[in-house]
Every structure is written in structure tokens, then in C-alpha cells.
Amino acid sequence: MTYVALITGASSGIGEATARRLAGQPDVHLVLVARREERLRALADELGGATVIAADLTEEDAPRRIAEVVEREHGALHLLVNNAGARWNGSFGETGWANVQRHMRVNFDAQVRLVEALLPLLRGTAAQPPGASAQAPQRAAPVAIVNVASTSGRVSRRGAAAYSASKFALIGWSDSLYAEERPHGVHVGLVLPGFIATEGFPAAELRAKPLTRLIVSTPDVVADAILAAGPGGAPERYSPRYYWLAAAARILLPRLVRRSLAGDAFTTNTPGTGS
């Protein structure tokens, strides 16, 4: 059976890198979702074919339309990568509730609504007889959801409170969803990227300084983490891996971390978006 993988935010950055990685594996059919249809079709042609769905995930009917296309064209879904997201920096005093609301709408609500629409298909795929299960390279792949959160969902920096709030919510929901869906055969993995140079977040300020250049990584590194947390069955991956140190320090040394972040050298006003 063909392994069906749906990737949101697939037109650039982490989503595109993940699509390229999966396209290189045998018997994989990709479903590429993003707002920019022309970018998706160009990528699909380059990769040798894929199902393209142009959609804004915040629109009311988007989850239903996506679920209908996947059900009609494939009848199964083995991997859902919730990667699409956005970021707009600004302090709460300057941007208020409106900035929190738009982050939650894009980075949390859209993911929850898409999982709700696709969960029956994911559960149905997981319930298929073992002999009909799709295979990932060198091992059986679990039916999986991978939610791409952020290290900012563990450690919040000034100017990024709204973004962090949406990612904290996604992480908490993912932990619960993992426990709830395990009896149904659906694995829920979590990926927490650090600073990643993408189209929406070029990280130019960080890459321009020798002190901070080394902490900026690439979408390919996150794609590896997504495969580990999806087909690989890992519960959680930081990307790059050493970013777990920041999360550990937040728990073990909260006073030091808070004081350090109060003079945050890594603050940037560059907006980011996954589309």
C-alpha cells in the first residue's frame, strides 16, 4: 500500500524540506497543503507528482475540504505533518490581545481543527490489517501526527509572548492527544525547532553575528526531526537536538533564565510565516 503523507505549509521552508525528504522514499504519495498554489504545483512537478491542495487553514471550511480530497483520492492517511504557522513580534503592551488572537488562530486553532477533520481517516488507516500497512524504509511506520511547535513553546522571550503562547498551547494539547490516541493506533509526535533560517524568518540578524550564527540551523535539520517523530515513532524531538538544554535550564534555573532573557540578545522584529 502507498504511504500517504500530508504536509501543511509545504510551499517553503520546513514543509518543503520535509516533502523533499519523504519524496525520496519508496511508495510515498504526498499531499501538499499551503496557500500558494503555484509554489505547490511547481514543487509537486519537481518531485514527480503529488496531490496539491491550496488552502488557508484559518478559513472555516478548509479542514473539511482537505479531508474530503484525501478521502476521495487516497482513502487512507499515514502521516499528518502540522507545520504551517506564523509569527509577528511585538510586546503585549504594544500589540495586545489582537496579536495573541491571530497567533492562536494560525498556530493552534488551525492545527486542532485539521486534526479533528482528519482523525477518523487516521484511525481508520491505523485499524487496517497489519499486512496492509504501509512501510517506511527499513521498518513498519506507525500512523502518526507530527505537530511542529517551537522551542519558544518551552522558553518564552520578550517580544514573542503571543507566538510562545500559541506554541505552549500546541505542546500541551499534543501531550494529551498522544495519550488519547495511542489506544487507537495513532502516534502523536512533537517537534520543537530552535532558530531556523526560512523564508519567513531569515534570521539575518543572528547570522550576521559570529556569536549567534552557530545557533541558527536549516529546514533540513527539522525535516530529519519530523521523520523521527512521525515514521520513526519518537515522542519528541528538539531541532537542533541541543536546544533541549534551553528547556532544561528553564526548569532547573528559572531565575537565571528569566534574567538572561530580560536582556535578550536574540530578539528580532522579523515576522515569520509558514505557507
* pLDDT tens column, 60-109: 999 999 999 999 999 999 999 999 999 998 999 999 999 999 999 999 99
38-42, 169-173, 195-199, 222-226: the lowest-pLDDT one: 195-199
Determine the pLDDT at residue 275: 44
Residue with cell 484559518: 58
Higher pLDDT, 17 or 1: 17
Decide: 190 and 147 in contact? Cβ < 8 Å.
yes
State the residue range of the domain holding 139: 3-273
Q: Which residue is catalytic, options 3, 163, 238, 243? A: 163
Furthest-apart CA atoms within the chain: distance in Å: 57
C-alpha 57/C-alpha 13 separation (Å) is 17
> Is 163 marked active-site?
yes
Decide: 7 and 31 in contact? Cβ < 8 Å.
yes
What does the pLDDT look like over 123-146, one tens digit per residue?
Answer: 999 998 755 555 554 446 899 999
C-alpha 56/C-alpha 237 separation (Å) is 27
- Mean pLDDT value of segment 164-179: 97
Decide: 56 and 33 in contact? Cβ < 8 Å.
no
C-alpha 14/C-alpha 237 separation (Å) is 14
Residue 146, beta-bridge partner list? 81, 189
CATH of the domain at 129: 3.40.50.720
Decide: 270 and 201 in contact? Cβ < 8 Å.
yes
User: How many separate domains does the chain show?
Assistant: 1
Residue with cell 541558527: 216
